[in-house]
Amino acid sequence: MTSDRERTGGRAGRRNPTWDLATLDALRTLIDRQIVDADGMSLARVDDVELELHEDGAPTISALLCGTLALGPRLGGRLGVWWSAVGRRLRGQDDPRPVRIDFDHVATLKPTELRLDLTEPDAPPFALRIWTREKIVTRLPGGTR
Amino acid sequence: MSRVRLETLLGAPVTDARGEHVGVVHDARFTADGPPLASGRPAYRLTALICGPVTVGTRLGYGGGVHGPWPLGHVFRFLGRHSRLVAWDQVDSFDQGHVRLNVPHDHLKPLPSTESKRRTHDHDSGGHR
């Protein structure tokens, strides 16, 4: 019997060293796309993409960036500054970086799906999500179920 | 190796080799043929920038795979008729949020979908003559 992780890609994707998409346009295919973990649970949206610069070639995609600190600069203006400040407050002054998901953790990349090979506990922590869960959701009737 | 965010590239003004304004960067096109990642899969390599003066159609997917509904398709294709595909080797430099090209703007290719649509249109109108 095949495990859920194997069926959904997971590390199984690494045995097949290819991508479903030979070409992609970042804004259309990646930005604002919902990221799901290996179990299909929604984690975050892609707010920005990190590029690695190479001296002898074109830049390559190295990571997906998520969270308030990734979205703030994209929004621009006062709203962007305010949104980034919220993100800094939630993550703490010592770590003012957006949530970074290494692109190699992407197991499935299709126009309709962006699935990681990580489950939520292994994924980088999303400060706003944790804060919302701790301060709001768990205080609602039935929120701890 | 240093890292930058795509957000610094999107919306950046583009000027050609003669210093003429071409537009702004609408999107970045990547091809899966870069150096291999730890998993053995190829990294997505930046192969082209999609540039032009009007961004709204591109943001909605026109100039990519979206064609309809037909009134909007025609409007956005018309607005995006000056959009161009800039191959990465035509980029001379990218610094301080500004992209400079090493070719004049008339050497840039139109977006393939716009081109193929125009060819189909020309062919159709030729057939009616």
Residue in B1, B5, B39 closest to A104 by CB = B39
Of B77, B71, B84, B87, nearest to B56 (Cα)?
B77
Residue A123 confidence class, pLDDT cut points 50, 70, 90: confident
- The answer as to whether B55 is a domain residue is yes
- The answer as to whether A52 is a domain residue is yes
Provide the CATH number for the domain around residue A31.
2.30.30.240
Spatial separation of the C-alpha atoms in residues A111 and A133, rounded to whole Å: 30
Provide the CATH number for the domain around residue B69.
2.30.30.240
- The answer as to whether A24 is a domain residue is yes
ipTM topping 0.85 = no
Q: Give me the count of residues in chain B.
A: 129
Spatial separation of the C-alpha atoms in residues B116 and B127, rounded to whole Å: 16
Mean per-residue pLDDT, B74-93: 81
B21–A contact, CB cutoff 8 A: no
- The answer as to whether B21 is a domain residue is yes
pLDDT-wise least confident of A5-19, A27-41, A108-122, B100-114: A5-19
Residue-number span of the structural domain to which A53 is assigned: 4-139
Number of compact structural domains in chain B: 1
Interface of A with B in 42-71 (CB under 8 A): 48-55, 57-62, 65, 70
- The answer as to whether B1 is a domain residue is no
Q: Is the pLDDT of residue B49 over 90?
A: yes
Cβ proximity of A53 and B1 under 8 Å: yes
A77–B contact, CB cutoff 8 A: no
Please give the residue that has the higher pLDDT: either B76 or B32.
B32
pLDDT for res B97: 84
Residue-number span of the structural domain to which B12 is assigned: 6-128
- The answer as to whether A34 is a domain residue is yes
